[in-house]
Amino acid sequence: MATSSSTLTDHLCCAICTEIYTDPVSLSCQHTFCKRCLEQSREARLPRRCPECRAPITERNFQINRLVRNMADQLRLEQSRQENTRGQRSTGDECPEHGEAMKLFCVTDRKLICLVCKEGRDHRGHTFKPVREAQEDLMTEVVSALGILKKDLNVAQHKRESQQRNISKTGEKSSQVKEKIRTQFEEIINKLKQREQEAMREIDMRDGVVNIKMAKRLTKIKRHVTDVKKRETSLQSGLYITNPRKFLQWWTEKGRAACHTRQVCPDIYKVPRVERPTQSEGYEDPDTLLGIIGREGIKKSLQWKFY
């Protein structure tokens, strides 16, 4: 019976959703699919061809195949009945191992057993109670635990309401503090923008003088780097000469000159002194910028506390 039902299921399953047909429709090529599956294919703008044989779909309005639908509904009903039957068997009062009624409760293992299980080796030396007596004892435990949980729930709900009130108060106070800080920072930002423009003009003037000197020094450094690399390559090549005569010849022609490191521009290692331009328009250095726009005012605006 199971094999027959399985074979019938294979013939009554949609090739698109792989489930038992729901409102099946048959195409002109004799292949059948769920109506909703075909409509979804049309909505997805897929080619209007049969998903199995790729034949063109000529139907405009899909008509439900009543015979196939009745067979699919009957199969679905039969599967539901089989599942209910298996569920009733698994949840019955019979021992799954011995097929006897489970009239005892093993206190040690905390499970229902039959009289045959009681005499088995798995429950040897255990404590047993009749089902009704075990129910009464455990019911007392359940009632006691339920009372504790109700008390705990009442306390938790009270704490939750109190916490929600605190959150609301904190949110209101935070909004007030944020608005105050936003107003103060807007004033500070406006002052900073004004001083920023003044500082940029001063720095541009300073850079115009410094960059010329630094560019000249950079040129010397580049030349020095090039010369050092050449001498490094020359000295490195000498390390690979194993023949003593060739090495001494190389030393006479190239090596000795390359080893005199003090020949190269010693002045590039000296840090040039950049003269500080005079203070212009109230700006001297970024360290004193806060003093120009009001250091104490900024400090006060930032000294807020949140409780």
Q: Are 125 and 132 in contact (CB under 8 A)?
A: no
Extract the tokens encoding 102.
Answer: 């489970």
pTM for this model (two decimals): 0.29
Adjacent-strand bridge partners of 20? 13
- Phi, psi of 282, rounded to the nearest 5 degrees: 85, 0
List all residues 6 or more positions away from 157 whose beta carbon is below 8 Å from its beta carbon: none
Give the lowest-confidence range in 69-83, 97-111, 280-294.
Answer: 280-294
Position 159 scores a pLDDT of 92
Q: What is the pLDDT of residues 229-285, one digit of tens each?
A: 888 888 888 888 888 888 888 888 888 887 775 554 555 555 555 555 444 444 444
Position 106 scores a pLDDT of 92
- Helix 295-302 × helix 131-238 angle, to 10°: 150
CA gap 85, 186 in Å, rounded = 75
The order of strands in the sheet holding 128-130 is 111-113, 104-106, 128-130
